[in-house]
C-alpha cells in the first residue's frame, strides 16, 4: 500500500516525463539489492560503521559539519539563488539572485539571522547558493557577523563549486573565521586546483559531490588525500522535474520512493567507499543517503521548537512527533473521571492528566494507559509535529516569536488524528519504551501480537500505520 502510494505520487510529480524514464525492472532491482547487501557486508568487515539507523555510511570520521547536521543542530542559509555552473544533476533552477533565506524565512540583515541561530540553539550553520561567491561581499558580511557573535561556539561552513574561488577571497573568509569549506568538484570536471588553494587556508576542507561517476571518484580520491583534503562526502542522486531531462540522457535507471532516486548512485557511493578502504587511502569518506536526509534532517526540523507548543501530557516519540492520548466523553463523565484520578491514592510514576472541558477531552500520557484501559473508557491516539513558518497558515495552533526586526511562527500540525485504540494497540503503546531503535520493529510487533493471540492483518496494518510516527526508519531505502 505504501509503495503504491509513492508510485502514484511519483507519477503525479513527473507527469509526461514518467513514461520516458528508464525505470529499473524487477530483475535489475534484485541485482541492485544483492549487490548492495554484499558491499555493505564487505564495508563492515573493513570497519565501516553504519550510523543514524544505518542510513549513513561510514560514520567513523565525519566532518564537524556533518556531525552537527546528523544531530539536528544545523541551519543552512541560501545566500542567493543563482549559480554559474551547469551540473546535469542540479535539482532546481538557480538563475536569479534572491535574498538570503532558510526554511522560507528571509534574512536581509545578518544580525537577524544571528538572532535566529541563537534563539533555536543551532551549533552549526552553512552558507549555500546557488553559488556564494557570486555575491561574495554579502557572503563575507554574513560570515563576519556569525563568527563575531558565536566565535568557536558555532561551526560555520560554506558550499561552493569553486569556479570563482581564489587566494584573495579564501584569505578573507579565513580571516573572518570560516571553519570549513565544501567543494562540489563535479561542477568542474573533478578538477582539484581550487581545492588545493583552500587546503592550509581554511581549517577543514571537504569535497562533497553526488555519486554519479565511480571511475572519476576512484581516480580523484588519492589526489584529494595527497592534497590534504579532510573529508569526502557522497550523496545519493535524486531526480526532479527540473533535472530529469538531463539525467535521462545518462545511462541510469530510476527507482520509486518518497522521492525518485537514481538507482546506480547508491551503489557507486558504496563501491567508492569500499575502494578507498581496500586501498587504505587516508581520506575519510561517508555516504549520505536520501533516507538519512528525508528522515533525520526532517526530524531535526520537527525538534527545532517543539517545546514552545508541547503540552504537559504530550510525549515526544523517537521519530520527533508529539503523541497525545485522550478520552472523549460527555462533560459529566469526564468530570467524574478527572475527580476519580485526583482522588487515587497512588498513580503510576510520571503520570500526567489534563481535563480540557472546552473540547470534551481528558488527556493523559503513557504511564496512565493501563489505568485508563482498566476503567473501560474508549481511548484515542493522535500525533502532531511542530515546525517553524515565516507566515501563518491560520489553520493550526501557533506561537509568534520575534527575532530582532523579524517575526517567525511556531506552528503545531496534527498529522494523525483520532485513532481509536483497541486491545492490541494498547499492548504496543504500553510496551513502546521497551522497543529499542536497534530492535527490528516487525519483530517486536510480532511478539506483542503473539502475546494477545491476535495475528489478524488488520492489527498489523494498524500497528504499521503508527510506525512512522514512533520510530525512525531503519536502513537504506528498499528498491522498487
* Overall domain count for the chain: 2
Q: Are 372 and 348 in contact (CB under 8 A)?
A: no
CB neighbours of 403 closer than 8 A, spacing ≥ 6? Answer: 112, 115, 116, 119
CATH number for the domain harbouring residue 7: 3.20.20.70
Domain C-terminal end among 244, 271, 303: 303
210 has which bridge partners?
Answer: 235
Residue burial 366-386, b: 16+ Cβ < 10 Å; e: rest: bbbbebbbeeebebbbbbbbb
| Residue numbers of the domain that contains 241 | 2-303
How many Cβ atoms sit within 10 Å of the Cβ of residue 442?
A: 12
Do 285 and 322 have their domain in common?
no
Do 239 and 354 have their domain in common?
no
Answer yes or no: is 19 within a domain. yes
What pLDDT digit, counting tens, does each position of 418-476 carry?
888 776 666 665 565 554 444 444 455 555 555 544 445 566 666 667 778 888 888 99
What is the distance, to the nearest Å, from the Cα of residue 238 to the centroid of all Cα atoms in its chain?
15
Answer yes or no: is 479 within a domain. no
- What pLDDT does 405 receive? 76
Do 410 and 449 have their domain in common?
yes
- Averaged pLDDT for residues 1-22: 94
Q: Round the average pLDDT of the chain to a whole number and report it.
A: 90
414 has which bridge partners?
Answer: 384
Do 442 and 388 have their domain in common?
yes
Instruction: Give 400-406 contacts, CB < 8 A, sequence gap 24+.
Output: 401/119, 401/305, 401/308, 403/112, 403/115, 403/116, 403/119, 404/109, 404/111, 404/112, 404/115, 405/109, 405/112, 406/105, 406/107, 406/112, 406/115, 406/116
Domain C-terminal end among 256, 279, 303: 303
Answer yes or no: is 475 within a domain. no
What pLDDT digit, counting tens, does each position of 102-146 carry?
988 899 999 999 999 999 999 999 999 899 999 999 999 999 999
Answer yes or no: is 178 within a domain. yes
Choose between 199 and 416: higher pLDDT. Answer: 199
- What pLDDT does 437 receive? 47
Do 227 and 364 have their domain in common?
no
What is the distance, to the nearest Å, from the Cα of residue 300 to the centroid of all Cα atoms in its chain?
6
- Averaged pLDDT for residues 196-216: 98
- Averaged pLDDT for residues 389-403: 89
Choose between 416 and 39: higher pLDDT. Answer: 39
How much of the chain exceeds pLDDT 70, in percent? Answer: 91
Answer yes or no: is 477 within a domain. no
Answer yes or no: is 21 within a domain. yes
Domain C-terminal end among 247, 272, 303: 303
Do 26 and 139 have their domain in common?
yes
Answer yes or no: is 480 within a domain. no
CA distance 43 to 58: 8
Q: Are 354 and 346 in contact (CB under 8 A)?
A: no
Do 318 and 225 have their domain in common?
no
Query: What letter does residue 255 receive in the DSSP assignment?
Result: E
Q: Which of 386, 391, 382, 375 is nearest to 421 (CA)?
A: 382
Amino acid at each position: 500500500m505504501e509503495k503504491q502510494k509513492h508510485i502514484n505520487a511519483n507519477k503525479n510529480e513527473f507527469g509526461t516525463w514518467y513514461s520516458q524514464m528508464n525505470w529499473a525492472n524487477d530483475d535489475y532491482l534484485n541485482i541492485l539489492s544483492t549487490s548492495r547487501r554484499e558491499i555493505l557486508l564487505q564495508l563492515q568487515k573493513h570497519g565501516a560503521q553504519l550510523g543514524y539507523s544505518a542510513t549513513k555510511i561510514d560514520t567513523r570520521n565525519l566532518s564537524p559539519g556533518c556531525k552537527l547536521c546528523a544531530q539536528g543542530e544545523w541551519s543552512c542559509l541560501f545566500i542567493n539563488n543563482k549559480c554559474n555552473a551547469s551540473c546535469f544533476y542540479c535539482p532546481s533552477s538557480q538563475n536569479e539572485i534572491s535574498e538570503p533565506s532558510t526554511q522560507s524565512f528571509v534574512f536581509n540583515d545578518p544580525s537577524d539571522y544571528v538572532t535566529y541561530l541563537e534563539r533555536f540553539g543551532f551549533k552549526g550553520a552553512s552558507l549555500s547558493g546557488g553559488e556564494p561567491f557570486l555575491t561574495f561581499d554579502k557572503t563575507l558580511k554574513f560570515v563576519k557577523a556569525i563568527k563575531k557573535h558565536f566565535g568557536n561556539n558555532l561551526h560555520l561552513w560554506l558550499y561552493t563549486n569553486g569556479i570563482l574561488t581564489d587566494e584573495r577571497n579564501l584569505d578573507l573568509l579565513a580571516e573572518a573565521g570560516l571553519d570549513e569549506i565544501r567543494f562540489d568538484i563535479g561542477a568542474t570536471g573533478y578538477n582539484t586546483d581550487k581545492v588545493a588553494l583552500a587546503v592550509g587556508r581554511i581549517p577543514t576542507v571537504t569535497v562533497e559531490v553526488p555519486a554519479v561517476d565511480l571511475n572519476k571518484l576512484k581516480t580523484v580520491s588519492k589526489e584529494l588525500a595527497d592534497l590534504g583534503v579532510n573529508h569526502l562526502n557522497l550523496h545519493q542522486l535524486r531526480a526532479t522535474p527540473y533535472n530529469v531531462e538531463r539525467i535521462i540522457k545518462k545511462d541510469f535507471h530510476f527507482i520509486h520512493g518518497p522521492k525518485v532516486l537514481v538507482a546506480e548512485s547508491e551503489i557507486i557511493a558504496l563501491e567508492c567507499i569500499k575502494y578507498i578502504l581496500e586501498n587504505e587511502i587516508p581520506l575519510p569518506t561517508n555516504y549520505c543517503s536520501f533516507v538519512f536526509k528525508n528522515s533525520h534532517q526532517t526530524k531535526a526540523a520537527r525538534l527545532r521548537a517543539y517545546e514552545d507548543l508541547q503540552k504537559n501530557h504530550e510525549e515526544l516519540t523517537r521519530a520527533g512527533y508529539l503523541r497525545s492520548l485522550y478520552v472523549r466523553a460527555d462533560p459529566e463523565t469526564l468530570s467524574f473521571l478527572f475527580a476519580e484520578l485526583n482522588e487515587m491514592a497512588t498513580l503510576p510514576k510520571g503520570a500526567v492528566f489534563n481535563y480540557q472541558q472546552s473540547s470534551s477531552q481528558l488527556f493523559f500520557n503513557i504511564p496512565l494507559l493501563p489505568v485508563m484501559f482498566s476503567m473501560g473508557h474508549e481511548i484515542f491516539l493522535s500525533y502532531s509535529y511542530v515546525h517553524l513558518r515565516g507566515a501563518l497558515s491560520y489553520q493550526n495552533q501557533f506561537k509568534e516569536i520575534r527575532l530582532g526586526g523579524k517575526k517567525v511562527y511556531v506552528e503545531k500540525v496534527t498529522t494523525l488524528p483520532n485513532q481509536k485504540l483497541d486491545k492490541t494497540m494498547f499492548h504496543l503503546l504500553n510496551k513502546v519504551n521497551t522497543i529499542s531503535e536497534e530492535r527490528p520493529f516487525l519483530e517486536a510487533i510480532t511478539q506483542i501480537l503473539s502475546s494477545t493471540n491476535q495475528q489478524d492483518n488488520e492489527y498489523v496494518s494498524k500497528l504499521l500505520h503508527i510506525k512512522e510516527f514512533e520510530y525512525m526508519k531503519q536502513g537504506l531505502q528498499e528498491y522498487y
